[in-house]
Amino acid sequence: MSQFFSRRLFILIPIMSILKFIFKSKKVLASQESFDKQYNLTDDEWKNKLSPESYYILREEGTERAFSSHLNNEKRKGIFYCAGCNQALFSSETKFDSGTGWPSFWDSIQGSIETKVDFKLIVPRTEYHCSRCGGHQGHVFNDGPLPTGKRYCNNGLALKFIPG
Ligand SMILES: [Zn+2]
């Protein structure tokens, strides 16, 4: 009998550690844990705070339809803020027309974003999110204009623009 159990344990322990690993990596792929306690909200709290569309982008790493955001054509001077926590993320001075259908920037405001690699389209992409609330914003690519050569491809629904 005890031999039976120890054999079972012998099989179970590696399976458990594999499951634990899968669960952990899934958690990393989900929206980032917030760094600021004030924005460490539950899913329900975020749902109350955001529109369903913004919740899908910011908290579930969704992507809005290309050319669907009015911010795509926004050309006024101003600041683009995180729709989740109002942190300033981009200045209009770094906005450019990438032709992709998403608001695009060649630089972010220093310290306002964090990045991680995701594999949602199999090929690795660099995801970025707000450094304060952890809300997903978009993906950054290395085919942008000078001086940085970066292209921050942002969801309009994850931003709030304030001209001025
Ligand atoms: Zn934020």
Residues 5-23: tens digit of each pLDDT = 566 656 555 555 555 555 5
Q: Say what the pLDDT of residue 10 is.
A: 61
Active site residue ranges? 153
Per-residue pLDDT for 31 more than 90? no
Percentage of residues of the chain with pLDDT beyond 70: 79
Q: Cα of 39 to ligand 1 centre, how many Å?
A: 8
> Across the chain, how many H-helices and E-strands are there?
3, 9
Q: Cα of 1 to ligand 1 centre, how many Å?
A: 56
Cα 28 to the chain's mean position, in Å? 11
Per-residue pLDDT for 136 more than 50? yes
Q: What is the DSSP string of 93-144?
A: GGEE--SSSS-EES---TTSEEEEEEEEESEEEEEEEETTT--EEEEEES--
Which tens digit of pLDDT belongs to each residue from 46-85?
999 999 999 999 999 999 999 999 999 999 999 999 999 9
pTM (predicted TM-score)? 0.79
Q: Say what the pLDDT of residue 25 is.
A: 47
CATH number of 25-163: 2.170.150.20
Cα 54 to the chain's mean position, in Å? 12
Percentage of residues of the chain with pLDDT beyond 90: 73
Q: Cα of 124 to ligand 1 centre, how many Å?
A: 24
Residue 30's pLDDT band (boundaries 50, 70, 90)? very low
Q: Cα of 34 to ligand 1 centre, how many Å?
A: 9
- Grouping H, G, I as helix, E, B as strand and the rest as coil, residue 156 is helix
Q: Say what the pLDDT of residue 4 is.
A: 57
